[in-house]
Amino acid sequence: MTDRDPNAASTVDDEWATALAEQTAGEAAAGAGVTTVEGAGDASQLFPRLSGATSDARNDIDMILDIPVQLTVELGRTRIPIKHILQLAQGSVIELDALAGEPMDVLVNGCLIAQGEVVVVNDKFGIRLTDIVTPNERVRRLNRG
């Protein structure tokens, strides 16, 4: 940990908020074309209400909202033999199957949920979601294997 200004965390938060505000303004100006998640902090806005759902069901959902999951942004993949891995050194380049400028896959617990593009704010990487996989598509992909 380095000695930093105690206000540095709020500065980073402000820069992320500014970047998100610019994204929202840019999307509004450009029109449709990017799937956005409105009210991402509230699960009731993300998922449609089930018919016959009671307040008990809502309490059941509330119980799982704080469960941590593994979120992964995948740049690309490759398969190489162990003998090539043993030859890797600092500065080695490994070719991936993804093309430059291609959307990154966003996975939760290994399941594809979205795609996006890399953004940089204050020398930190993030991902701007450009396409969210529909629940029907997720189920279809799970059934395929």
Is 69 exposed, middle or buried, given 0-12, 13-18 or 19+ CB atoms closer than 10 A? Answer: exposed
pLDDT band per the 50, 70, 90 thresholds, residue 23: confident
Which pair of structure tokens corresponds to residue 7? 């206000």
- The domain in which residue 140 lies consists of 8-144
- For residue 128, the cross-strand partners are 117
Kindly state whether residue 2 falls inside one of the protein's structural domains.
no
Residue 118: partners with Cβ closer than 8 Å, 6 or more residues away = 104, 125, 126, 127, 128
Q: Is 19 part of a structural domain of the chain?
A: yes
Mean pLDDT is lowest, of 7-21, 87-101, 104-118, 119-133, for 7-21
* Residue 33, domain member (yes or no): yes
Distance CA 112, CA 129 (A): 12
Three-point CA angle 115, 66, 35, nearest 5°: 25
- The span from the CA of 8 to the CA of 49, in Å, is 40
Residue 12 in any domain: the answer is: yes
Residue 112 lies in a domain: yes
Residue 31 belongs to a domain? yes
pLDDT tops 70 at residue 5: no
The number of distinct structural domains making up the chain is 1
Per the domain annotation, does 1 fall within a domain?
no
Least confident of 9-18, 21-30, 66-75, 103-112: 21-30
Asked if residues 106 and 72 have their Cβ atoms less than 8 Å apart, the reply is yes
pTM over 0.85: no
Domain contains 65: yes
Q: What CATH number corresponds to the domain at position 79?
A: 2.30.330.10
